A and B are shown apart, each in its own frame.
With several copies, the nearest count.
Chain A
Amino acid sequence: MSKITLVEAVNQALEYEMAHNNNVIILGEDVGKNGGVFRATLDLQSKFGEERVLDTPLAESMIVGTAVGMATQGLRPVAEIQFMGFIYPAFDQIINHASRLRNRTRGRLHCPLVIRAPYGGGIHAPEHHSESTEALFAHVPGLRVVIPSSPLRAYGLLLAAIRDNDPVLFLEPKRIYRMVKQEVPNKGEALPLDECFVLRSGTDITLVTWGAMVHETMKVAESLALQGVEAEVIDVATIKPLDIDTILQSVEKTGRCVIVQEAAKTCSVGAEIAAQIAEQGLLYLCAPIQRVSGFDTVMPLFKLEDYYMPSENRIYSAVKQTMEFA
């Protein structure tokens, strides 16, 4: 079996599910012949036809609102938003409709749709192409928000997202689209949608992260190991609903916690994790929680983006401080 990248794993999951379920339909800008600007939908139109891979006109509210309508008919639309920075025109359709339809109709209609969007910084992209605003969606009741950090998890989580009977926002960290290759068995096996993944166990400190930052965090953990510090690394993966239990168990064991995220700090997912630890795990803590985070600024254009995003250095400093706290 050959190794594939994260974006190839996305493509493989889409192809698998389309082949096995006629109700799965892809729609979005440039998803057809072009295969998506990152090639996530490569060749799917030629394999499954123009009726199942739909190039839409340029309108994000339309893409999501149309997907809502399709989903109520039992289709499983997988809508692509070209970059997360362009999802906002669809915000109303997501918060007021997709996420609420089951509840408003007491289950009579529901919305099995997936919205995929590449997100995050680090690829020297133009303005509005590099933000990480997952927290905005994690606040929305009725929605699931999933962020894979490896080819394997991209494959398994995307399958789960498509099969789930509720709306899922699936955010793909584009910085790692092609960073790592893994063997990804194409057997259609889904991964659970509401569990964190413990990527590395350790006893000294808990590092909680998701998306592209998993990689910097893992590197820091490995460096720490050389110094005799064993970090437990948790990839949250599904940030909504948030599996706080796995995190709390780890913090109970380690007594220390650093949360690493690319997003702006205020009201972020990191805030929610820290808050829940402060509520439910205060007594476990031997040191203050730290959030290593993007700044509360507009994501800068790419000349400065490396200064915005958490570097291994920034993570390491925070870990060191936390470890040294007595």
Chain B
Amino acid sequence: MSRVAAFEIEYVQYMDESGQALADLPNWATEVESLEHAYKWMLLTRLFDAKAVALQRTGQMGTYASCLGQEAIGAAIGLAMHPNDVFVPSYRETGAQLIRGSRMRDILMFWGGDERGSNPPIANQDFPVAIPIASQCLHAVGVATAFKYRKQNRIALCAIGDGATSQGDFYEAINLAGVWKLPVVFLVSNNQWAISVPRAAQSASQTLAQKAIAAGIDGVQVDGNDYIAMRDTLDQAIEKARSGNGATIIEALTYRLSDHTTADDASRYRSAEEVEVYKQKDPLLRLERHMRVAMGWDEGKQQSLKEQCQQQIEEEIQAYLTAEAAPPTEMFDYLYESLPKVYLKQRQQLFDEWQQHLGAREETVDTDVKESDHV
């Protein structure tokens, strides 16, 4: 017997739960603006997220996946990437979407059941929110393949959850990223739960970062609630990818403080005590504490930032709530570049039904007649 290969997985953390530095910080993290800027996005994300949940609860939006507790990850992604990189998200990186140019109204629109939400006025080629778990990993390697082919200086970043690492597409993607040495970063937000399935029931691997070993790429574990560690790790992985040195899997240890989505009730399957423990690790609290101690952040700044955020959110919610409805015929209009003529009849039928429905609505506006009563 001889040893033919050996591997190690490292863990990165810069701040403890109280915001105290555990090691020398990277240079950028000693600059006030950098951290305040990041904190601003994290706070905006958190406040917006809470409003989105409220909109769902009051019947003004559909199912929504909160990112409560995971804001450091979204902010780090958004701030670490270049504008012309491509972000290939899951559905829990709201902060990153905002930083990369989606307006809050776009995000609300998507969760409000309107495709136009996936067509925000952004200048990049980011992918829309991916619902089929892990399927987007392959899109990221495809995008990275195009960058490599064109010798462009760009990278793709793919975000997934812990549950996604069990899915074949994830593995096929990291394997290709390895063998083609692609400029791509896989960011696994290990928030300890895949709906009701705990991390331990998802895989026997000690870490999720070590899944990288199967693909011959680097894997690293990081405290995902520590913005500085998160951003630093991402910066390095992105720089490595950009300079042609291949892919990385970053396992960000975090915790989903919310229900899985607004359709879920997490108290069915996990204890309040567990949630309490993780509340202590809150990424916003931690960064705020750090900024208070190290950078003179204070209650005044905190309050004024909060108000600023809230006003912005209010405006966006109004824009969402008052947006004009899309005509139903749009379901035909983006199916193909131009609609094959055999479908014109179906489109016409839909158009007629729509018009009839509008007409019917006006006619019956004050009676109690339901659509079905026409029959």
Interface residues of chain A, those whose CB is within 8 Å of chain B, are 25, 29-30, 32-35, 37, 51-52, 54-59, 61-62, 64-75, 77, 85-86, 88-89, 92-93, 96-97, 102-110, 124-129, 141-142, 144, 164-166, 194, 216, 219-220, 223, 241-245, 265, 295-298, 300-305, 307-308, 311-314, 316
Contacts and interface: CB of A to CB of B under 8 A. Distances in A.
Given A54-B145, A304-B331, 19 more contacts: A57-B176, A58-B134, A61-B168, A62-B138, A62-B175, A66-B142, A66-B173, A69-B141, A69-B145, A92-B132, A97-B132, A107-B119, A126-B63, A194-B342, A220-B375, A295-B343, A298-B335, A312-B372, A313-B371
Nearest to B203: A57
Interface stretch (B39-47, B66-74, B193-201, B227-235): B193-201
B263 interface: yes
A33 B269 contact: yes
A241 to B, nearest CB: 4
B335 A297 contact: yes
B375 A223 contact: yes
Interface stretch (B286-294, B296-304, B307-315, B346-354): B346-354
A30 B128 contact: no
A209 to B, nearest CB: 15
B268 interface: yes
A106 B112 contact: no
Contacts of A302: 62, 113
Contacts of A54: 145
The 10 tightest CB contacts between A and B, nearest first, are: A69-B142, A65-B138, A302-B113, A73-B146, A34-B196, A57-B166, A62-B172, A307-B328, A241-B340, A106-B119
A241 B249 CA distance: 41
A245 B147 CA distance: 43
**From A59, A64, A295, A301, residue with most partner B Cβ within 10 Å:** A59
Interface string B164-189: 10111100110110010000000000
Contacts of B115: 103-106, 300-301
B111 A56 contact: no
B131 A126 contact: yes
Interface string B354-375: 1011000000000000011011
A71 B138 CA distance: 12
A62 B118 CA distance: 24
A307 B331 CA distance: 10
A245 B342 CA distance: 8
26 contacts: A25-B149, A34-B268, A58-B166, A59-B175, A65-B169, A65-B172, A66-B176, A67-B142, A73-B150, A75-B149, A88-B132, A93-B169, A103-B335, A127-B129, A141-B335, A164-B337, A243-B342, A265-B346, A298-B335, A301-B114, A302-B113, A303-B114, A304-B331, A307-B328, A307-B331, A312-B375
B195 A70 contact: no
B213 to A, nearest CB: 17
A26 to B, nearest CB: 12
Interface residues of B, number: 82
B240 interface: no
Given A105-B118, A243-B342, A295-B331, A33 B176 contact: no
Nearest to A245: B342
B107 interface: no
B143 A73 contact: yes
Contact of A69 (B131, B140, B196, B354): B140
A62 B137 CA distance: 9
A324 to B, nearest CB: 15
A164 B343 CA distance: 18
B354 to A, nearest CB: 6
Contact of A102 (B131, B263, B335): B335
Given A62-B176, A70-B142, A303-B113, A104 B118 contact: yes
Contact of B325 (A62, A92, A265, A303): A303
**From A57, A106, A166, A241, residue with most partner B Cβ within 10 Å:** A57
A245 B149 CA distance: 43
Contacts of B357: 307, 313
B116 interface: yes
Nearest to B142: A69
Given A55-B201, A57-B176, A66-B141, A296 B375 contact: no
B128 A104 contact: yes
B324 to A, nearest CB: 12
B7 interface: no
B179 A57 contact: yes
A312 B360 CA distance: 14
B49 to A, nearest CB: 16
A127 B149 contact: no
Contacts of B353: 307, 311, 313-314
B125 A72 contact: yes
Contacts of A166: 336-337
B341 interface: yes
Contacts of B127: 72, 109
A32 B196 contact: yes
A141 B263 CA distance: 28
A108 B166 CA distance: 30
Contacts of A305: 113
B143 A69 contact: yes
Contacts of A165: 337
A304 B144 CA distance: 34
Nearest to B144: A69
Given A30-B197, A307-B350, A312-B374, A58 B167 contact: yes
A102 B337 CA distance: 8
B246 interface: no
B60 to A, nearest CB: 12
A54 B140 CA distance: 17
Contacts of B114: 301, 303
